């Protein structure tokens, strides 16, 4: 199969592409290598992919409609796997227009191409952020997501709605995957586990916002990749799936496990709670288990051990 993967040089995208290439698929990776974090990290992420003859890197932006026209004139894709986005809750509060432009208009541009080219499968990354501060846990795909508390979350909900519209109007199968705090080797440096590990290792203070009792459903990268692969295979009609570990841990307990595997104590810099932060993320993955065969395998303890081992290399 020939797939276009947007945001393919990022953390999740690069792991997914490596697996797809190993399975023998042909991959075009579209990434703009923006400066949200050091672009050198993204080039390093896909270094292994360059060894495959069935891999092609396209440096460009999903907002560049002329480039998209050129790409889709040259190839007839079996599916679009859309991971490109401006990520992060807190930065979206500072730059809401940028997040709307990239996440919503960028997704619309790709759905237009899927419509024009009659591409039957469109799998896109959504986020657990759409649940906001829902009081009912664990979060289920049937829960109301009408109260996002960050521009990032609002853009992801908007993309799901646009995806539904295109699935209904143009007979495109659209699958939206609500990722729950993905971590593992090559995780973005701004994410909590990577940032905390680096700061503790270097004897620097780690910022903890609020009381440290927020809870997160951390999901190891191999489980996410497995879920994405299954969703591509079974993409049919319009569907939303939670992809999480379906387990939660308090932030301070997370820090304790990182301390254990680093063999160092953390110095905490207590800070006020930040706008847009939610109290808990917790995935009900029963739908993904039933319909996709998704079955997360890596506990937070085992995953953190793997991450710290990678960090030390």
The two counts, helices (H) then strands (E), for the chain are 12, 13
Closest CA to 194 of 161, 164, 218, 223: 218
What is the reported pLDDT for 275? 81
Of 152, 166, 238, 241, the active-site residue reads 152
Contact call for residues 99 and 86 (beta carbons, < 8 A): yes
Q: What residues pair up with 5 in beta bridges, in sequence order?
A: 29, 81
Whether residue 138 has a cis bond before it, omega within 30° of 0: yes
User: pTM value?
Assistant: 0.96
Cα gap 66→96, rounded to integer Å: 25
Examine the residue annotation and report whether 3 is marked as an active-site residue of this protein: no
What is the reported pLDDT for 210? 87
The superfamily CATH assigns to domain 2-179+221-244+283-296 is NAD(P)-binding Rossmann-like Domain (3.40.50.720)
What is the reported pLDDT for 273? 87
What is the reported pLDDT for 23? 98
Cα gap 103→293, rounded to integer Å: 29
What ranges in the chain are assigned the alpha helix state H? 11-22, 39-45, 65-74, 89-94, 96-99, 106-117, 151-170, 192-201, 221-233, 251-262, 286-292, 300-312
Cα gap 196→9, rounded to integer Å: 23
User: pLDDT tens track of the chain, all 313 residues?
Assistant: 999 999 999 999 999 999 999 999 999 999 999 999 999 999 999 999 999 999 999 999 999 999 999 999 999 999 999 999 999 998 999 999 999 999 999 999 999 999 999 999 999 999 999 999 998 999 999 999 999 999 999 999 999 999 999 999 999 999 999 999 999 999 999 999 999 999 999 999 999 998 889 999 999 999 999 999 999 999 999 999 999 999 999 999 999 999 999 999 999 999 998 887 888 999 999 999 999 999 999 999 999 999 999 999 9
What is the reported pLDDT for 258? 98
What is the reported pLDDT for 279? 87
What is the reported pLDDT for 277? 80
Helix (H, G, I), strand (E, B) or coil at 221: helix
């Amino acid at each position: 199969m020939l797939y276009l993967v947007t945001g393919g040089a990022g953390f999740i995208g690069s792991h997914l592409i490596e697996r797809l290439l190993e399975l023998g698929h042909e991959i075009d990776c579209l990434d703009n290598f923006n400066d949200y974090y050091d672009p050198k990290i993204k080039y390093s992420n896909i270094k292994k992919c360059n060894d495959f003859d069935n891999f092609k890197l396209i440096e460009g932006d999903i907002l560049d409609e002329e480039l998209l026209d050129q790409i889709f004139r040259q190839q007839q894709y079996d599916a679009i796997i859309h991971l490109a986005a401006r990520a992060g809750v807190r930065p979206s509060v500072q730059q809401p227009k940028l997040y709307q432009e990239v996440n919503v208009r960028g997704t619309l541009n790709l759905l237009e191409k899927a419509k024009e080219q009659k591409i039957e499968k469109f799998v896109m990354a959504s986020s657990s952020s759409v649940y906001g501060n829902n009081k009912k846990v664990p979060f289920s795909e049937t829960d109301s997501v009408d109260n996002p508390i960050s521009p990032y979350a609002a853009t992801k909900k908007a993309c799901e709605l646009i995806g539904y519209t295109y699935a209904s109007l143009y007979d495109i199968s659209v699958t939206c995957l609500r990722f729950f705090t993905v971590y593992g080797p090559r995780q973005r440096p701004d994410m909590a586990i990577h940032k905390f590990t680096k700061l503790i290792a270097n004897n620097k203070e780690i910022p903890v916002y609020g009381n440290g009792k927020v809870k997160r459903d951390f999901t190891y990268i191999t489980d996410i990749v497995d879920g994405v692969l299954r969703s591509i295979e079974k993409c049919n009609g319009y569907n939303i799936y939670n992809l999480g570990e379906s387990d939660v841990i308090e932030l301070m307990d997370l820090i304790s496990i990182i301390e254990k595997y680093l063999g160092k104590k953390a110095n905490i810099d207590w800070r006020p709670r930040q706008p847009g932060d939610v109290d808990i993320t917790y995935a009900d993955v029963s739908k993904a288990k039933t319909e996709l065969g998704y079955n997360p395998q890596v506990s937070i303890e085992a995953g953190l051990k793997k991450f710290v081992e990678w960090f030390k290399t």
